[in-house]
Amino acid sequence: MDDQPSNFYMLGTMGLASSIGLGLAAAQDKPVVAIDGDGSVLTNLGTLATIGNNPQGNFTLLIIDNRSYGSTGDQPTYAGMKTDLAAVARACGAENVQTVSAEDTAEAVKAAIASDVMTIIVSKCESGNVKVPVIKTNPIVIRERFMEEVRR
Amino acid sequence: MPSNKEDEGMGLCAGAFMGGMKPAIVMQNTALGVVVNTLATLIQFYQIPLPMLISYRGEVGEPVACQVEMALHTKAILNLLHIPTYHFHKPEDAAELPGILEYARMASKPVVILCDASFWRASARSVTTYFRR
């Protein structure tokens, strides 16, 4: 998970990571993993209907569900209250939705990448952030090195 | 690929572009307010070419009064964001499309084609005539 050209960092547009990932998965054959948060998915719930109705076998959506808006001070989201994102994903037509613990997430993601069936993984985590620096890489550099990696 | 919201659709386009395709978005001008953030912080920030075919509601001939409210802001929003804007009034204008598509690709920018209701109406008639033949 270290910084590498095959990571695309979406620095703005909260909510669109899953849409970008789905578009990328539809456009080419390499496996795509979109990593998003519960707060982000809640800003773009329609994405789950688009994903459910356009399944891509090479696409994995990993939702890190810590029931909080982590980057603004851990305010609680509705995903920690009455809203069950895995149930929403199933109701939107996604056929392979898994809820896993933080400890089981790595194995679940590896299995999802290895399979040719689209998978949505909801990873239940504790809130709280590891101290990491803000990404300062130029966005064009991020995109160009990513696209070069996709083309390889 | 149909999307539920226009910002979602632009995310799909960004992903498809990075995957080697040449995407475009077809949407209504009414949703330009929805996509201001996406245009500025995804499409322009990452320099992604994006032809935008935009149906221009709320102009002369519009039956729904509420559509006029966003027609008033359409050109202002595009100007604010410095988005190159073209305009199809008649079916013959479609001949300009290949040039505009290449322009968007060359510039790595979002480029808008506003399409009047008269354009769609007259084009639909041409298509119907074509199929009857």
DSSP A37-98: EHHHHHHTTHHHHHHHHS--TTEEEEEEE-SEEGGGT-EEPGGGTT--HHHHHHHTT-S-EE
Contact A22 B20 (CB under 8 A): no
Residue B22 in domain: no
CB spacing of B19 vs A13 below 8 angstroms: no
Per-residue tokens: B43: 């499409």
Confidence of residue B120 (pLDDT cuts 50, 70, 90): confident
Q: Do B15 and A46 touch (CB under 8 A)?
A: no
- Please give the pLDDT value at position B121: 86
For residue A135, pLDDT over 80 is answered with: yes
Inter-chain touch B11–A12, beta carbons under 8 Å? no
Residues of chain A positioned with their CB less than 8 A from the CB of B21? 27
Q: HEC profile for B56-87?
A: CCCCCCCCCCCHHHHHHHHHHHHHHCCCCEEE
**Averaged pLDDT, A4-14:** 97
In a domain, B1, yes or no: no
What was the pLDDT predicted at A1? Answer: 74
pLDDT digits (tens, 9 = 90+) for A101-118: 999 999 999 999 999 999
Task: Give the count of Cβ contacts less than 8 A between chain A and B.
Answer: 109
Instruction: Name residue A16's amino acid.
Output: L
Tens-place pLDDT, residues A46-104 = 999 999 999 999 999 999 999 999 989 999 999 999 999 999 999 999 999 999 999 99
Identify the pLDDT of residue B127: 58
Residue B40 included in any domain: yes
Our count of domains for chain B comes to: 1
The predicted model scores a pTM of 0.95
Confidence of residue B133 (pLDDT cuts 50, 70, 90): very low
- Model-level ipTM above the cut of 0.90: yes
DSSP code, position B42: I
Q: Would you give the DSSP letter of residue A117?
A: S
Of B1, B7, B23, the CB nearest to A16: B7
d(CA A88, CA A49): 9
Q: What are phi and psi of B25, to 5 degrees?
A: -120, 140
Any domain includes B10: no
Angstroms from A90 CA to nearest CA on chain B: 17
Search chain A and give the residue with CA nearest B41: A12
- CA distance linking residue A56 with residue A26, whole number of Å: 6
| A21-54 per-position pLDDT tens digit | 999 999 999 999 999 999 999 999 999 999 999 9
Work out the pLDDT band at B126, boundaries 50, 70, 90.
Answer: low
Nearest CB to A150 within list B2, B18, B38:
B18
Residue B120 resides in a domain: no
pLDDT in tens, B42-68: 999 999 999 999 999 999 999 999 999
Chain A residues inside the 8 Å CB shell of B40: 12
Question: How high is the pLDDT of residue B107?
Answer: 98
Fold of the CATH domain A17-151: Rossmann fold (3.40.50)
pLDDT value at position B129?
Answer: 53
Is residue B130 in a domain?
Answer: no
CB contacts of A15 in chain B (<8 Å) are: 7
What residue of A is the nearest CA neighbor of B2? Answer: A50
If you average pLDDT over residues B3-14, what whole number do you get? Answer: 98
Work out the minimum CA distance from A9 to partner chain B, whole angstroms: 11
Please answer yes or no on whether B3 and A46 come within 8 Å at the CB atom: yes
CB contact under 8 A, B8 and A44: yes
Q: Name the residue of chain A whose CA is nearest to B38's CA.
A: A13
Residue B16 lies in a domain: no
Q: Whole domain around residue B55: which residue ranges?
A: 28-89+96-110
Q: Which B residues, 46 through 75, put their C-beta within 8 Å of a C-beta on chain A?
A: 46-48
